[in-house]
Amino acid sequence: MDGCISFIRYTSPFQNVGEVGELSEIFQWKGEVPKGLPGWDEAEKEHLGEELADVLLYLVRLSDMCGVDLGKAALRKMEINARKYPVGQCKGSSKKHTHYGSTNSVSANDNVNTMNKEHNNGV
């Protein structure tokens, strides 16, 4: 992996914060951005792609350095979110999962148990 992204100087997990900031700046004055980015010119789309790639590369590098299987972690997080935010109750809402009652919540123990399983499985 070092050969693929040797241009990235990894010194801190917080380097990605700067990259996310650069990505956020692109959208800062755009308001709501519809799917497909209508009204964006090719240079803007190319710049967006570059900033998204920077964020992705830092995340992949950080997960590699920390020994985290990013694919497994993402799938696990999607499962947790599916329990916290059932589509039938939450679609179209921006309310926090605690608004929907205790049946949808994931306890801290669930997260600790999942982390322990992952640690034992080398994730």
- pLDDT for position 12: 64
7 in a structural domain: no
- pLDDT for position 74: 96
- Is residue 107 predicted with pLDDT exceeding 70? no
Mean pLDDT, range 81-107, rounded to an integer: 75
Query: Locate tokens 């049946």: which residue?
Result: 103
Q: Are 119 and 73 in contact (CB under 8 A)?
A: no
Total domains in the fold of the chain:
2
Helical segments of the chain, H only: 15-27, 42-66, 70-84, 87-90, 108-120
Length of the chain: 123
53 in a structural domain: yes
Helical pair 15-27 and 42-66, crossing angle rounded to 10 deg: 160
Mean pLDDT, range 84-109, rounded to an integer: 71
- pLDDT for position 3: 46
> In this structure, what CATH number is given to the domain that contains residue 37?
1.10.287.1080
38 in a structural domain: yes
pLDDT, tens only, 47-73: 999 999 988 988 888 888 888 999 999
Same domain, 20 and 48: yes
> Taking the model in full, what pTM does it have?
0.62
The residue range of the domain holding 84 is: 70-120
Domain end position, chosen among 29, 44, 66:
66
- pLDDT for position 4: 46
State how far the Cα of 93 lies from the Cα of 84, in Å rounded to an integer. 13
State how far the Cα of 4 lies from the Cα of 2, in Å rounded to an integer. 5
Mean pLDDT, range 82-110, rounded to an integer: 72
9 in a structural domain: no
| Side-chain-side CA neighbours of residue 100 (13 Å) | 18
